A and B are shown apart, each in its own frame.
Chain A
Amino acid sequence: MKIIVCAKQVPDTNEVKIDPVKGTLIRDGVPSILNPDDANALEAALQIKDANPDTKVSIISMGPPQAHYMLRECLAMGADEAFLINGRVFSGADTCATSTTIAGGIQAIGDYDIIFAGRQAIDGDTAQVGPQIAQRLGLPVVTYVQGIREIKDGSIVVERQMEDGYEVIEVQTPCVLTCVKELNEPRYMSIKGILEAYDTPIKEFLTPEEIGLVADQCGLKASPTQVLRSFAPAPKGKGRMLEGTVVEMAKELVSSLQEKHIV
């Protein structure tokens, strides 16, 4: 079986802080990590490989050269090969253009039975790229996959997470599946994996032509959406800190709420 996993290197948004004076992001010292949902996507692929050793797991990412670190981490977890689409022409892409580029990369890699992606990346939280890749490749998609029940010949049975439960869905293969964190517990890198990862070359696609595209289909130019403005969210004005003993504070709070007819 051939599996392709889409992965992204992201800033750890948990560590991102806003400069309270300038209202800008403080990025110094913010670590870059493998996007959490993508780790679940890779784990899903590796579990299939554990059960069927002749499975090949390829990772594909679009991003700056620093994404090599993240790709090596994926290799050290057990992926067989890694591809990076990297170049100024791909930059500034919105999800629409990103999906065109990654779909191009996937076609350049070639054969696949299942494509896994994370549900969403924590720096954008859009959840759009996975299903959009599926549309570009003409493949069926199931998003929010929280369980894999059975891999059959020509189809796969998965659980799709819903707000109030889940659905059991049979989808034809090849297909795209986007994964949520409930799907599995990603494994750690192994020592052997780490050693081998450094010997595995990361293959790079540097031009649109290498992935069957032209420059006008890539990056900012090919992005229908435009960021017109970005700004720090206006802080809600700080209210009143109550003072006194616990009983006094509780009383004051309750009477203020009663005055405002909230309780």
Chain B
Amino acid sequence: MAIVINKEACKGCTKCVKVCPFDAITMVEKKAVIGAGCTSCGSCLDVCPFGAISKIEDRVGGVDISLYHDVWVFAEQREGKLMNVAIELLGEGRKLASQIGCRLCAIVCGSGISDLPAELIAYGADVVYVADAPELANYTTDAYTKTIYEAIDQYKPEICLLGATHIGRDLGPCLAVRCNTGLTADCTSLEIDPHTKGILQTRPAFGGNLMATIGCPNHRPQMSTVRPGVMEKALRDESRTGEVIALKPSFAEGDIRQKVLEIVKNVTETVSLNDADVIVAGGAGLGAAEGFELLKKLASRLGGTIAASRAAVDSGWIDHAYQVGQTGTTVKPKLYIACGISGAIQHLAGMQRSGLIVAINKNEDAPIFEVADYGIVGDLYQVIPAMLEALG
């Protein structure tokens, strides 16, 4: 679709210029002109008092969408263990599949993974496509892209969901180009349009300042990546049954151009922010690395874990693995206590969906208070000891 301006009707009021999130409209000789930045988002359509702006269909390409069926989830595993995000995607995929009235399928690649199909079925997959080959033991872009592309080409899913992990964000774009379809990154909500049965993918843009709902009407599969920790996990039910289909990937010389020479794990303790019920997070307001010791006391008293803002990570006080936010982890604990964190939009993007948010900050105007259920204006070095005292 494209946005067009009816020059006759335009009175040059500039309302559309002000509302355009992409700064794509300019005034030339008192008439609005759509510029190169236009994404056809349609924000300008409703604000024009003169009805001078309209949207026209002018897309090219596409496929016969009636040939495509089922919701697929890429079930990412590492060292034979399913990633949590795969289980979350099965939870979300089940909802989409029942709204469409189709099957939920999982596709899993690896080597020596014969126990995974049963697990995926227990988590809700009606069908599991398994590619078990030595070349797939560790993820490589080329081997996984080839295997999954061939499966998509043969079985034609209508929707394909991937976790927005470092692997999913590598694989997704490569598959999308191979399939000549669209891909929407880091979706935070997925719905099915009740009329078209197409997917509506909502994601943050501009560092979380704006949300956009994106569709993929004419191409298949409709592909999305979803960040870990955003969707509800599927419930495990051992009594479920499903079908297992073995894929037969084959690789010729030159098919796999990346070779994994070594896998190095951080020696620091593994941090699992996604599973924590209580998170006590610290920011620049801690003033020093030692501040995290106090937060640890509160966290362990509450049976939770600590986390950090980017400013605390950038100061070198704590490892990046603890960072919450747009470029860190997305978390959804029952209780999130933000201590000395201003509440920048990029930080909020990672914790806004927490059950209950408490903010402790010296500055009463800190934006973190806008999302807090309870706010305390004060010095965290006084407030936290007082809380520990009150907890007994």
Interface residues of A (CB under 8 A from B): 11, 13-14, 16-18, 22, 24-25, 27, 63-64, 86-88, 90-92, 94-96, 99, 122-132, 134-136, 140-144, 157, 160-172, 175, 216, 220-233, 235-236, 238-242, 246-247, 249-251, 253-257, 260, 262-263
Q: Is B270 in the interface zone, CB < 8 Å from A?
A: yes
The SS class assigned to the A binding surface is mixed
Also in contact, A141 and B174, with CB within 8 A (given A225-B216, A253-B387)? yes
Query: Of the candidates B211, B302, B335, B377, which one forms a contact with A232 in the assembled complex, judged by CB atoms under 8 Å apart?
Result: B211
Q: Is the CB of B173 within 8 A of A95?
A: yes
Q: Is B12 in the interface zone, CB < 8 Å from A?
A: no
Q: Is the CB of B386 within 8 A of A250?
A: yes
Q: Is the CB of A134 within 8 A of B174?
A: yes
Q: Is the CB of B36 within 8 A of A64?
A: yes
Query: Of the candidates A126, A222, A251, which one forms a contact with B60 in the assembled complex, judged by CB atoms under 8 Å apart?
Result: A222
Assuming A225-B214, A239-B374, what are 14 further A-B pairs, CB within 8 angstroms? Answer: A13-B207, A16-B206, A24-B43, A25-B209, A92-B39, A132-B177, A135-B174, A141-B174, A162-B166, A163-B321, A165-B266, A233-B211, A247-B389, A253-B376
Q: Is the CB of B183 within 8 A of A225?
A: yes
Query: What per-residue 1/0 map shows which CB atoms of B149-164 lie under 8 Å from chain A?
Result: 0000000000000000
Q: Is B230 in the interface zone, CB < 8 Å from A?
A: no
Compute how far the CA of A125 lies from the CA of B328 in the bound complex, rounded to whole angstroms: 13
Q: Is B285 in the interface zone, CB < 8 Å from A?
A: no
In the complex formed, the residue of A with least CB distance to B303 is: A263
Q: Is the CB of A223 within 8 A of B209?
A: no
In the complex formed, the residue of A with least CB distance to B204 is: A233
Q: Is the CB of A227 within 8 A of B177?
A: no
Query: What per-residue 1/0 map shows which CB atoms of B93-119 lie under 8 Å from chain A?
Result: 000000000000000000000000000
Q: Distance (Å) between the CB of A190 and the closest chain B CB?
A: 26
Query: What per-residue 1/0 map shows which CB atoms of B130-144 lie under 8 Å from chain A?
Result: 000000001011100
Residues in B with CB closer than 8 Å to A223 are 59, 182
Q: Is the CB of A263 within 8 A of B207?
A: no
Q: Is the CB of B182 within 8 A of A254?
A: no
Q: Is the CB of B204 within 8 A of A225?
A: no
In the complex formed, the residue of B with least CB distance to A261 is: B334
Q: Is the CB of A240 within 8 A of B373?
A: yes
Q: Is the CB of A124 within 8 A of B58?
A: no
Q: How large is the interface on B (under 10, 10 to 19, 20 to 34, 35 or more residues)?
A: 35 or more
Interface residues of B (CB under 8 A from A): 1-2, 18-19, 21, 23-24, 35-43, 58-62, 138, 140-142, 145, 165-166, 169-170, 172-174, 176-178, 180-186, 200, 204-219, 257-266, 270, 278, 302, 321, 326, 334-335, 344, 346, 352, 355-358, 364, 369-379, 382-383, 386-387, 389-391
Query: Of the candidates A167, A232, A256, which one forms a contact with B374 in the assembled complex, judged by CB atoms under 8 Å apart?
Result: A256
User: What are 9 sample pairs from A and B whose C-beta atoms fall under 8 A apart?
Assistant: A13-B209, A128-B172, A160-B166, A163-B165, A222-B59, A224-B182, A231-B210, A232-B210, A257-B356
Q: Distance (Å) between the CB of A214 and the closest chain B CB?
A: 10
Q: Is the CB of A96 within 8 A of B177?
A: yes
Residues in A with CB closer than 8 Å to B391 are 254, 263
Compute how far the CA of A87 lies from the CA of B258 in the bound complex, rounded to whole angstroms: 36
Q: Distance (Å) between the CB of A253 and the closest chain B CB?
A: 6
Query: Of the candidates B205, B278, B370, B382, which one forms a contact with A124 in the assembled complex, judged by CB atoms under 8 Å apart?
Result: B205
Q: Is the CB of B177 within 8 A of A236?
A: no
Query: Of the candidates A96, A135, A164, A230, which one forms a contact with B212 in the assembled complex, judged by CB atoms under 8 Å apart?
Result: A230
Q: Is the CB of B263 within 8 A of A165?
A: yes
Query: Of the candidates B208, B264, B358, B378, which one forms a contact with A233 in the assembled complex, judged by CB atoms under 8 Å apart?
Result: B208
Query: Of the candidates A143, A170, A236, A253, which one forms a contact with B370 in the assembled complex, judged by CB atoms under 8 Å apart?
Result: A236
Q: Which 6 A-B pairs have the closest CB atoms?
A: A224-B182, A13-B207, A250-B386, A225-B182, A140-B257, A239-B373
Q: Is the CB of B42 within 8 A of A229?
A: yes
Q: Distance (Å) between the CB of A97 and the closest chain B CB?
A: 9
Also in contact, A167 and B170, with CB within 8 A (given A25-B209, A225-B183, A250-B389)? no
Q: Is the CB of A165 within 8 A of B264?
A: yes
Residues in A with CB closer than 8 Å to B169 are 127-128, 143
